[in-house]
Amino acid sequence: MTDTDRDIAEATRAARDAAARTADATGDAAEDIADAVSRGARDAGDTAADAKEQVASAVNDAIDSARATAADAAETIAAKAKDAADTVSAQAKDAADTVSAQAKEAYANAKTAADEGMTYVQARYRENPVLVIGVAIGALIAVGVIVRAIFRR
Longest CA–CA span in the chain (Å) reads 182
Average confidence score pLDDT of the chain: 82
For the chain, what percent of residues have pLDDT higher than 90? 10
Model confidence at 134, pLDDT cuts 50, 70, 90, reads: very high
- Mean pLDDT, residues 41-69: 79
User: Degrees (nearest 5) of the Cα angle 84, 89, 95?
Assistant: 125
pLDDT for the residue 148:
92
pLDDT exceeds 80 at position 50: no
Buried b (16+ CB within 10 A) or exposed e, 11-31: eeeeeeeeeeeeeeeeeeeee
- Is the model's pTM score more than 0.85? no
For residue range 26-47, list pLDDT tens digits in order: 877 777 787 777 777 777 777 7
Q: Which amino acid is at 111?
A: K
- Whole-angstrom distance, CA of residue 35 vs CA of residue 53: 27
- What is d(CA 82, CA 88) in angstroms, rounded to the nearest whole number? 10
Q: What is the pLDDT of residue 5?
A: 63
Q: pLDDT of 74-110, one tens digit each?
A: 888 888 888 888 888 888 888 888 888 888 888 888 8
- Greater pLDDT, 151 or 85: 151
Top pLDDT among 35 and 4 is at 35
Is residue 144 over pLDDT 60?
yes
